[in-house]
Amino acid sequence: MHDGGNAVDASITGCLVQATVQQEMTNHTGTVTFLYYEAATGKTYQLDAGGLLVSDLAPFRPIPPGTGVYASGVGAPCACIPGFMPGLKAMHERFGTKPWAELCQPAIHWATKGHEVNSFELMVLAQSYEFFLYSESGRKHFAPNGFLPEVGQRLPKPELATALRHLADEGPDYFITGGGRMRSVLGHTFVLRDGKPWISLGTPGNVDCTMPQVLTNLLDFGMDPYAAIDAPRLLPLEDDYTLPMESRLPSDTVAGMAKLGIRIKPHPEYDWHMGSFQMSWRDDNGTLHSTTDPRRAGKAAGF
């Protein structure tokens, strides 16, 4: 944006970079959802670039069930054509202003140079060890010297850098697109005031129950944005009347819930499966602010 690009250019670049440096969570063959307010027209646009399910394919399961937390479990195996790159292509064609190749350069830089591994990334890689290292290419990519990287170590991805250079030269069609729709819960939201965006927030992970909790904290309880994000979260009440929840409740609250016949099932104090909210908002003076969730890797910044 310093060089004359707009917010959509920055979003495309950010998606490409995140999929390069945070591959324990995402990659360039995932999905993209896009919520955009166009100030010039006052219109809001939304895009759901989920994967496409291909009908009539033979059963396909590249990794056996039970091989790490990301391996598919019960149910018929299926193949999905990713929606990530078609989504970025649509965003760029409709709203982008910078050349596509220029938007790819930061991702190429980090794939070539390597980012510094953080503690959250290493934790998820360790938990998913069987999944990532099942294939020869996975072992080469995530454990290039036969070991998972250490915190603070740079992790270059030379083969990914080569693929990203092709992406820059040939455009988003370098990644294959192709029949039915995947169902997903969208994790981004605008809260409007007088018809204009007031709060923008989004999260991955259990969106169906975590987004209402944070919105309730903000709109009903009037909590500060960071406090609304930081507050303990819970999953839906289970059939046996246990309530999965981050274990930061006072003991008297837990006891009171027990008297109602509801037993708290303690989760980690900050459970990364409860999502990772990123939020921006305008105050009464029109000043923009942002904050980020402590549950995963993230940092608020601006210029």
Q: Looking at the structure, do residues 165 and 42 belong to the same domain, yes or no?
A: yes
261-286 pLDDT, tens per residue? 999 999 999 999 898 999 999 999 98
Provide the domain limits for residue 227. 188-292
Domain-embedded: residue 267: yes
Alpha-carbon gap, residue 273 to 28, rounded angstroms: 21
Domain-embedded: residue 103: yes
- The predicted model gives 41-62 an average pLDDT of 79
Residue 30: pLDDT band with limits 50, 70, 90: confident
Q: Looking at the structure, do residues 95 and 171 belong to the same domain, yes or no?
A: yes
Q: Looking at the structure, do residues 260 and 227 belong to the same domain, yes or no?
A: yes
Domain-embedded: residue 146: no
| Phi and psi at residue 80, to the nearest 5° | -135, 130
Residue 89: what pLDDT? 95
Domains held by the chain: number: 2
- The predicted model gives 27-33 an average pLDDT of 89
Percent of the chain exceeding pLDDT 90 equals 62
Q: Looking at the structure, do residues 25 and 107 belong to the same domain, yes or no?
A: yes
Domain-embedded: residue 73: yes
Residue 94: what pLDDT? 96
230-239 pLDDT, tens per residue? 999 999 999 9
**CA angle 41-212-229, nearest 5°?**
90
175-194 pLDDT, tens per residue? 865 474 545 667 789 999 98
Residue 178: what pLDDT? 44
Residue 212: what pLDDT? 94
Least confident stretch, 11-20, 26-35, 68-77, 269-278: 68-77
Q: What is the CATH number of the domain that holds 253?
A: 3.60.20.40
Can you list the positions of beta strands (E) in 159-241?
Answer: 180-181, 188-193, 196-202
Helix (H) or strand (E) run with residue 291 in it: strand 288-292
Residue 74: what pLDDT? 56
Domain-embedded: residue 106: yes
